[in-house]
Structure 1
Amino acid sequence: MSLQLRVYVPNHPLVKHWLGVARDESTPPVLFRSAMTELGRWLTYEAIRDWLPTMDTTVATPLAPCPASFINPEVPIAIIPILRAGLALMEGTQALLPLAKVYHVGLARNEETLEPSWYLNRLPSQFAPETRVLIPEPMLATGGTIMTVMAELLQRGIDPSLVRIISVVAAPAALQKLGMAHPALNIFSAAIDEGLNEHGFIVPGLGDAGDRTFGTD
């Protein structure tokens, strides 16, 4: 069976509500952060629905033995937020995956060439082959940053079929690049927007998620 990039847009009223709050240019940073936390929570919830490794066992209730399923702690889970904006989703994401290891990466985009360059890479030299990876990246715009991160992960032993990306808004340009290069990926986004403007920003988008999260210009 051929692989094809899967992009999920959850049809959930809370996702729609917090997306609207995040898009609104009049939303102050403190409320914008709340919106991003909630989007991180609900998008992560959708992304890990059939993705977390489980194990079956039996527990004793106060009345009788009962079958039970638990998350398997022996299968490694990694969260890799892309700085700065990826930090905006982390509170909601970590609340659902408290035992996951967090590896930070930072890339800056050249506003003339739109090409990313590394300024922080905390990835280990090698991951265990069964590692599940969740990447919080609020905006998938040109696709340059996420493609660079994916290349690093593949060099370190990550299976793309075990990678899930959560984003608030995604542009067709990024999705097309990811689909061509990594068709086994799964992406969970609150919205797929129309496209990019001449500066490579998503339209209608939500502005610069990093600046709006941290109250900077």
Structure 2
Amino acid sequence: MTEHLTIVTHPLVQHKLTLMRDKKASTGEFRRLLREISQLLAYEITRDLELTTRGIETPMQEMEAPVLKGKKLALISILRAGNGLLDGVLELIPSARVGFVGLYRDEKTLQPVQYYFKVPEGLEDRHLIVVDPMLATGNSSVAAVDLLKQAGANNISFMCLLAAPEGVARMKEAHPDVPIVTASLDERLNEKGYILPGLGDAGDRMFGTK
């Protein structure tokens, strides 16, 4: 565990991740577990959000109570698989703004191809949490963060379910200012760029498309 990478070792996170890795898990079970684990990861990635106070009145007395400081968070989903993490985090932070970056991986070159980009205004004043279940080669994640920085973002965190050492190194090289929170740092990538031992294609397992 480094300043750049946080692995969430909470027993509930690790238990749910094991259930998701099992190829016998149904589409519905996989989707439910992903939503649950995303909330546990979100708890960790939002740990250091800035607070201020405001005056409220409890049933007993007036007090200065802590509230989040500044503009609301923005959650950025890397389509399509990012939406599985997005749903859970939105339940936890329903007031967050939401953006989408559409990227798919060219299966021959393993490079990302952009097809969609729609994000909230005022990114320079927001803390962005970028979500994608898999940090594999890191190419799509780096491309997404590139686009967000070009749009004005300067405070970005990245949340994923699984990470490969190759993807973590690629992100650290390209965006050392973007901390990564994940449930597991797996062993390596195979020749097709999939994480081992991994859990297969998160999008296909989530949406039942394979």
Normalised by the length of structure 2, the TM-score is 0.94
Q: Distance in 2 between the 1:64 and 1:121 partners?
A: 47
Judge conservation of contact 1:134–1:165 (CA < 8 Å) in 2.
Answer: yes
What's the CA shift string for 1:7-43, capped at 9, x where partnerless?
1111211101110111011000000001100111110
Secondary structure of 1:129 counterpart: helix
Judge conservation of contact 2:142–2:175 (CA < 8 Å) in 1.
Answer: no
What's the CA shift string for 1:154-190, capped at 9, x where partnerless?
111111xx21111110001111111112112111100
Q: Residue type of the partner of 1:110?
A: D
Q: Residue type of the partner of 1:69?
A: P
Deviation at 1:5, TM superposition (A): 5.2
Q: For structure 1, which runs of at least 5 residues remain unmatched after alignment?
A: none
Residue aligning to 1:71: 68
Deviation at 1:60, TM superposition (A): 2.2
Residue aligning to 1:19: 17
Q: Distance in 1 between the 2:208 and 2:183 partners?
A: 22
Secondary structure of 1:17 counterpart: helix
Q: Distance in 1 between the 2:145 and 2:83 partners?
A: 18
Deviation at 1:151, TM superposition (A): 0.8
Could you tell me which of 144, 147, 156 is aligned with 1:149?
144
Is 1:108 matched up with 2:109?
no
Judge conservation of contact 1:76–1:128 (CA < 8 Å) in 2.
Answer: no
Residue aligning to 1:97: 93
Q: Percent identity?
A: 37
Deviation at 1:59, TM superposition (A): 2.3
Q: Residue type of the partner of 2:51?
A: T
Q: For structure 2, which runs of at least 5 residues remain unmatched after alignment?
A: none
Secondary structure of 2:125 counterpart: coil
Secondary structure of 2:124 counterpart: coil
How many pairs align?
Answer: 209
Judge conservation of contact 1:5–1:185 (CA < 8 Å) in 2.
Answer: no
Normalised by the length of structure 1, the TM-score is 0.91
Q: Distance in 2 between the 1:104 and 1:150 partners?
A: 12
Point out 4+ residue stretches in structure 1 off by more than 3 angstroms: none
Residue aligning to 1:82: 78
